[in-house]
Amino acid sequence: MKTKQRKTNLQFTIILIIVLAFSSNFAYSQAIGISDKLFSIDSSAILEIQSTQKGVLFPRMTTVQRDSISNSDYGYNAALSLLIYNTTTDCYEFYAYGDWHEFACAVISGGCDGQTTMTDSRDSKVYNIVKIGTQCWMAENLAYLPAVHDNSTFDSRGTSSLSAYGVYGYDGSDTATAKSQANYSTYGVLYNWWAAMQDSSSCNGTGSSQPECSTPVQGICPDGWHLPSHYEFTALERAICTSGSCASDFPYDESTTGYRGTNEGSKLAKDTTLWTAGTLLSNDSIGTSGFSVLPGGLRGTSGTFFNESLIAYLWSSTENATNAWNRSWNFSTSTVLRGNFNKKSGFSVRCVRN
């Protein structure tokens, strides 16, 4: 009888709220209390909800559905402080001053299907992993090093379209010595494009419905993982984009280049003083995706090294004539640079799970 009475009280409370919500006088005269039992509403609250058995569900929607929210009566997209749960990014978001802002996300601590690390069976190295949108990514640069080449050999092998490997700042050919370098532990390995691809052919996805290649390129990645296509990077960027202009900022095409987006670069970068102080690091969104990009620099076509602490570079599996598509992050901007670079260059690699 007591359970029935509680249900009746709750039903009555809900009905009463609905009735009062349509009363123009109610908003100025009373507070609202919701509970499965009688209680006194705190005098400082306009709305108080009490329960020890249930929670509150906010509207849940995809990024596309969120971007279609509008208030035609007043001519703006959404009300200041409007709150939703974005199922594309697994984040709570609120709207303020023309943009959506994340303030609590499940992707950083959730790992991938309950796992937060993976182990490369080739060398037993353990990598942190993170799920962003529907993709599972390594949250560290790949460090698998089957060989290492000095500057001149790195140059000559690239000229011959052969695989070449390096560790930032090391001009030698001894693998054990290369692995003892601090930059190896911090930034992993720099691969030219042929090393990243392991002689596989270029490929790309078809668009938003299939950003991955029909047959993904494993390349230098461990079993069960592959080198991301140009469009898989695009899907990653869109998954964390909250600007309302994500489709135009990050289009599925092979022609758009340049610095793209608003704060997506900061979201994907790691919050660490390894980065030179600048706009990337000072942005409020720094590090919020869990992707944790580090400024590992590059190895130039001649084999020399540049831009450690300033810029990060990652290869894709998609070529563009004599170049290949890549993504890079610069300490001086919170955006992402979408471009293509000479295949002879040594870039870092991030693998994505099959």
In-domain check, residue 132: yes
In terms of domains, do 302 and 194 share one?
A: yes
In terms of domains, do 199 and 278 share one?
A: yes
In-domain check, residue 121: yes
In-domain check, residue 340: yes
The better pLDDT of the pair 45, 295 is held by 295
Is residue 352's pLDDT more than 50? yes
In-domain check, residue 336: yes
Which sign, positive or negative, has the C-alpha torsion 293, 297, 302, 303? negative
Alpha-helical (H) ranges within 107-243 are 107-110, 151-159, 175-179, 182-187, 193-197, 230-240
Give the mean pLDDT of 187-216: 97
In-domain check, residue 154: yes
pLDDT tens across 97-128, in order?
677 776 666 544 457 888 999 999 999 999 99
The one-character DSSP state at 78 is S
Distance of CA 91 to the CA centre of its chain: 12
For the CA atoms of the chain, what is the radius of gyration? 25
In terms of domains, do 93 and 124 share one?
A: no
Provide the percentage of residues in the chain whose pLDDT is more than 90.
67
In-domain check, residue 193: yes
In-domain check, residue 110: no
In terms of domains, do 176 and 245 share one?
A: yes
Contact (CB, 8 A) for 70 and 44: no
Output the pLDDT for position 106.
58
pLDDT tens across 291-325, in order?
999 999 999 999 999 999 999 999 999 999 889 99
Q: What is the dihedral of CA 44, 45, 46, 52, to 10 degrees?
A: -160
Output the pLDDT for position 95.
83
In terms of domains, do 96 and 155 share one?
A: no
Output the pLDDT for position 25.
41
In terms of domains, do 170 and 65 share one?
A: no
Count how many residues are written for the chain. Answer: 354
In terms of domains, do 180 and 328 share one?
A: yes
Across all residues in the chain, what is the average pLDDT?
88
CA nearest neighbour of 294 among 237, 348, 352: 348
In-domain check, residue 128: yes
Is residue 234's pLDDT more than 60? yes
CA nearest neighbour of 183 among 225, 141, 130: 141
Output the pLDDT for position 72.
58
In terms of domains, do 120 and 161 share one?
A: yes
Q: What is the dihedral of CA 272, 276, 277, 283, to 10 degrees?
A: -60
Strand blocks (E) in the chain: 32-35, 47-50, 60-61, 83-86, 91-96, 99-105, 117-120, 125-132, 135-138, 165-166, 190-191, 225-226, 258-260, 298-299, 305-306, 311-320, 323-330, 336-342, 352-353
Is residue 18's pLDDT more than 50? no
Is residue 5's pLDDT more than 60? no
Give the C-alpha separation, 342 to 325, whole Å. 9
Output the pLDDT for position 73.
58
Going from the C-alpha of 45 to that of each of 17, 31, 336, the distances in angstroms are 15, 7, 43
Question: Regarding beta strands 225-226 and 190-191, do their DSSP bridges make them parallel or antiparallel, or are they unpaired?
Answer: unpaired
In terms of domains, do 129 and 10 share one?
A: no
In terms of domains, do 120 and 250 share one?
A: yes
Give the C-alpha separation, 329 to 311, whole Å. 5
Contact (CB, 8 A) for 352 and 118: no
pLDDT tens across 158-187, in order?
999 999 999 999 999 999 999 999 999 999
Name the domain count of the chain.
3
Output the pLDDT for position 105.
65
Give the C-alpha separation, 129 to 25, whole Å. 53
pLDDT tens across 54-108, in order?
888 889 988 778 888 876 555 557 788 888 888 766 778 888 867 777 666 654 4
In terms of domains, do 120 and 101 share one?
A: no
In terms of domains, do 329 and 294 share one?
A: yes
Give the mean pLDDT of 231-242: 96
pTM as predicted: 0.73
Q: Which domain holds residue 322?
A: 115-353
